[in-house]
């Protein structure tokens, strides 16, 4: 099944494996006339590239993007934008051993069952490197949304047991620490915790939060194409994500109607909400308040500790996974979450243009 595309109007199609020639993406359906350069893309890729800190894999990759099509005289033409990042540090010898067994917490076993065999080098298609294509596509989506005043704030909300303190929330701090936390003190605690994890040949998970401001009211459709439903798919499609919640999310399940309902009121002649328990959607459509959602990310499954598993011959064995693995996925996944959200929102924004007949008639007048 063709499962490597996301989005219907603005669509990304990703390709490539961890240890193949490169990782790429085709962005199709981008409106014509957007100024776009490789620098725009690179700024997103740099947020997820390896080697940013001691907590990220030491694989040496510049992750330099090359645009192959779709841009003419500095602008998007409306035709597909093909982009590639060539793999340069493909030490596949690191991975040859894992060809024979199934790493716990990884998809190896499922690949063999589903397809009969697998590209075992570095996880192949299930490698985190697959998200390069998402971030490249997300950079375009985010730049497009920026033109309409829609902005993103995405960050690590918790790492292992360390959660940010909202009273210390500082958006400027996000890019100031290697963990993309908006709270310097929490980032420091989290760093200490991560060093402990590494010492113990262990890894940990965390939560990413994304806040989107400036959305017009009415994005998303009332039934299956709810904005939150598409966001949920977008976020759960990222490897290692195990949960999604919008607004109060699981806490809303323990709340009451009186507490959870957001009262409407008038502000500067506009309808607004006094609170935002809903996280910016009502009935699947954006309600004018900031969109707020969270993604739960599991611990990195590749750990150096001894683990039990089986090999392809059906023997039970013990393994120690070698390689250059991050003790935590969260910080590098922050930009991927933002990218998938941006792509989802661009689609909702473009789709929404056909909702009302009078607006359509105006458009073509």
Applying CB under 8 A, which of residues 52, 105, 153, 169 lies at the interface with a second copy?
Answer: 105
Beta-bridged to residue 307, according to DSSP, are 319
What sign for the dihedral angle of Cα 67, 146, 332, 105? negative
| Minimum distance from residue 153 beta carbon to a second copy (Å) | 19
The dihedrals phi and psi of 172, each to the nearest 5 degrees, come to -70, -20
Cα–Cα distance, 205 to 21 (Å, whole number): 30
Applying CB under 8 A, which of residues 62, 80, 169, 276 lies at the interface with a second copy?
Answer: 80
Applying CB under 8 A, which of residues 47, 48, 49, 118 lies at the interface with a second copy?
Answer: 118
Which DSSP state fits 259? H
Cα–Cα distance, 143 to 141 (Å, whole number): 5
Q: In the stretch 22-51, what mask flags binding to a second copy with x, by CB under 8 A?
A: x-x-x-xx-xxxx-----------------
Residue 75 found at the interface with a second copy (CB under 8 A) = yes
Applying CB under 8 A, which of residues 16, 50, 138, 182 lies at the interface with a second copy?
Answer: 16
Residue 78 found at the interface with a second copy (CB under 8 A) = yes
| Residues binding a second copy: number (CB under 8 A) | 161
DSSP three-state, residue 316: strand
Q: In the stretch 121-150, what mask flags binding to a second copy with x, by CB under 8 A?
A: ---xxx---x-------------x--xx--
- The residue with tokens 């940990």 is 204
| DSSP per position, 160-221 | TTEE--GGG--GGGGGGSTT--S-HHHHHHHHHHHHHHHHTT--B-EEEEEEEE-PPTT-S-
Within residues 202-231, the interface with a second copy by CB under 8 A covers 202-207, 216-218, 221-226, 228-231
| Minimum distance from residue 36 beta carbon to a second copy (Å) | 11
Within residues 141-200, the interface with a second copy by CB under 8 A covers 144, 147-148, 158, 160-161, 197, 200
Within residues 310-329, the interface with a second copy by CB under 8 A covers 310, 314-316
| Minimum distance from residue 96 beta carbon to a second copy (Å) | 13
What kind and span of H or E run contains 47?
A: helix 38-48
| Minimum distance from residue 161 beta carbon to a second copy (Å) | 6
- In angstroms, how far is CA 320 from the centroid of its own chain? 29
Query: Residue 280 in contact with residue 274, Cβ under 8 Å?
Result: no
| Minimum distance from residue 27 beta carbon to a second copy (Å) | 9
| Minimum distance from residue 220 beta carbon to a second copy (Å) | 8
- The residue with tokens 């007048």 is 365
Within residues 224-283, the interface with a second copy by CB under 8 A covers 224-226, 228-237, 239, 242-250, 252-266, 269, 271, 274, 278-279, 282-283
| Minimum distance from residue 249 beta carbon to a second copy (Å) | 4
Residues whose CB is less than 8 angstroms from the CB of residue 116 and which lie 6 or more positions away in sequence, other chains included: none
Which DSSP state fits 262? P
Q: Name the segment binding a second copy (CB under 8 A); options: 44-52, 54-62, 106-114, 184-192.
A: 106-114
Residue 357 found at the interface with a second copy (CB under 8 A) = yes
What kind and span of H or E run contains 242?
A: strand 241-246
């Amino acid at each position: 099944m063709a499962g490597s595309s996301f989005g219907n109007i603005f669509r990304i199609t990703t390709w490539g494996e961890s240890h193949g020639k490169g990782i790429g993406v085709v962005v199709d359906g981008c409106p014509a006339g957007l100024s776009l350069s490789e620098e725009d893309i690179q700024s997103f890729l740099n947020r997820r590239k390896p080697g940013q800190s001691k907590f990220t894999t030491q694989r040496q990759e510049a992750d330099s993007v090359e645009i192959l099509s779709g841009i003419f005289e500095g602008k998007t033409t409306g035709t597909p934008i093909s982009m590639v990042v060539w793999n340069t540090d493909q030490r596949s010898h690191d991975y040859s051993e894992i060809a024979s067994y199934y790493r716990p917490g990884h998809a190896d076993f499922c690949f063999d069952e589903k397809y009969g065999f697998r590209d075992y080098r570095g996880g192949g298609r299930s490698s985190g490197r697959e998200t390069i294509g998402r971030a490249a596509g997300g950079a375009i989506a985010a730049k497009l949304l920026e033109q309409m005043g829609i902005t993103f704030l995405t960050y690590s909300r918790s790492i292992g047991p360390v959660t940010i303190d909202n009273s210390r929330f500082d958006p400027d701090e996000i890019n100031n620490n290697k963990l993309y936390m908006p709270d310097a003190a929490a980032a420091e605690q989290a760093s200490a915790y991560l060093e402990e994890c590494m010492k113990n040949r262990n890894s940990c998970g965390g939560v990413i939060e994304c806040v989107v401001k400036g959305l017009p009211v009415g994005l998303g459709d009332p039934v299956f194409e709810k904005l939150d439903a598409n966001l949920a798919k977008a976020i759960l499609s990222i490897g290692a994500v195990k949960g999604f919640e919008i607004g109060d999310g699981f806490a809303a399940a323990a709340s009451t109607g009186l507490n959870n309902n957001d009262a409407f009121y008038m502000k500067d002649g506009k309808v607004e909400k006094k609170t935002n328990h809903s996280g910016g959607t009502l009935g699947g459509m954006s309600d004018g308040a900031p969109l707020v959602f969270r993604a739960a990310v599991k611990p990195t499954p590749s750990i150096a500790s001894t683990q039990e598993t089986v090999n392809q011959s059906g023997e039970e064995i013990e393994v120690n996974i070698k390689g250059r693995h991050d003790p935590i996925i969260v910080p590098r996944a922050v930009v991927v979450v933002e990218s998938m959200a941006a792509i989802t929102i661009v689609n909702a924004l473009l789709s929404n243009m056909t909702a009302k007949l009078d607006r359509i008639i105006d458009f073509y007048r």
